[in-house]
């Protein structure tokens, strides 16, 4: 029977899941997604290969879980940025927090690049579910900006969000392909969004 690595079973499962995702990300930094294997993840995490399958059925599930983990790490910084009173400054700050995560850590772009190149539509949908908690912060800043007269009103909030997401995704794709242009592209994308919203 496997040794419990924490004070209780729930904590043990959380610890092993973290170790598996850490191992997967470390391997992804060192080699291509195609080269990463479940056996290598297990060895790096210090668990039996069969243990991995208790947490993920294949490496694409590890990839989507890693993407969700990175999205989840944005929640606290976004909550902090959402405390700014001025809606335009608040929105800009939140966009900077979200976008800079692709520059601040080498693993975020690596995970999302692998997801975009190797993930299925279902993988992308699962990863995107983690971003659902982030959307209300952005939309509240936009709504407040409309009320304050800083932003122009749009008839359909969902369509507006899709437009903004399209600009930001394009910037991220550019950063993933050409990391040396990252800071400039992200700044330009945020400026574009802010300019499009301006009343």
Distance CA 24, CA 38 (A): 9
160-197 per-position pLDDT tens digit? 988 998 898 888 888 878 878 888 999 999 999 999 99
23-64 per-position pLDDT tens digit? 999 999 899 999 999 999 999 999 999 999 999 999 999 999
């Amino acid at each position: 029977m496997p040794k419990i690595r924490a004070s209780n079973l729930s904590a043990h499962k959380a610890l092993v899941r973290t170790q598996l995702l850490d191992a997967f990300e470390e391997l992804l930094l060192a080699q291509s997604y195609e080269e990463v294997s479940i056996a290598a993840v297990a060895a790096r995490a210090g668990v039996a290969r069969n243990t991995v399958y208790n947490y993920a059925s294949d490496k694409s599930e590890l990839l989507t879980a890693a993407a969700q983990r990175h999205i989840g790490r944005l929640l606290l910084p976004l909550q902090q940025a959402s405390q700014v009173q001025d809606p335009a400054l608040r929105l800009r700050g939140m966009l900077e927090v979200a976008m800079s995560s692709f520059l601040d850590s080498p693993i975020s772009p690596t995970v999302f690049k692998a997801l975009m190149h190797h993930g299925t539509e279902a993988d992308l949908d699962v990863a995107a579910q983690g971003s659902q908690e982030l959307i209300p912060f952005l939309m509240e800043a936009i709504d407040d900006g409309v009320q304050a007269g800083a932003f122009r009103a749009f008839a359909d909030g969902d369509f507006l969000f899709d437009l903004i997401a399209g600009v930001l995704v394009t910037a991220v794709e550019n950063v993933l392909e050409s990391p040396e242009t990252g800071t400039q592209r992200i700044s330009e994308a945020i400026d574009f969004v802010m300019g499009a919203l301006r009343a």
